[in-house]
Amino acid sequence: MMSEDPSPKSGKDTRFRKGQSGNPKGRPRNARRALIPSQLRKDILQAADEELEIRTASGVRRLTKQQLIITAVANGAAKGNPTCLRLWMKMIEGALDQRFVAHPTVRLVDMLLQAVEDPRFNGDPLTIRALDAHLKATKKTY
């Protein structure tokens, strides 16, 4: 008679134990740094400021990635691409909002422009000249 060997050769008895994870140590952590919002912002701005040389019909130009992306979105919007158009409108709206926040007088100038260009506006010539002078002076700075 053959006696059975008590040690399992196939490993079936030790392969899956109840209540024990198949990978008790878990997945090893990656060596990359964690995404911290301030670091992510720095990395994005650093990548946006990188300069590239672009060959055009007029010669070689040096542009930042940010300028290239803005140009690509503007060109796509001009061609009628709906995604580019939506993004372009958001970019313009954000730029205008930032301008109004940074320069509160811009909103006043815009309101003055609308008032002067409105056909119902009937200001005296002195007021119109003063507004024109103010608008010319402020348009140069914005």
Give the three-state DSSP class for 103: coil
Question: Could you tell me whether strands 59-64 and 51-56 are parallel, antiparallel, or unpaired per DSSP bridges?
Answer: antiparallel
Give residue 41's pLDDT.
86
Q: Which residue has the higher pLDDT, 24 or 11?
A: 24
Q: Which residue has the higher pLDDT, 53 or 124?
A: 53
Give the three-state DSSP class for 13: helix
Mean pLDDT score, 73-94: 93
Mean pLDDT of the chain: 76
1-15, 22-36, 49-63, 119-133: segment of lowest average pLDDT: 1-15
The dihedral over CA atoms of 25, 30, 35, 40, expressed in degrees to the nearest 10, equals: 180
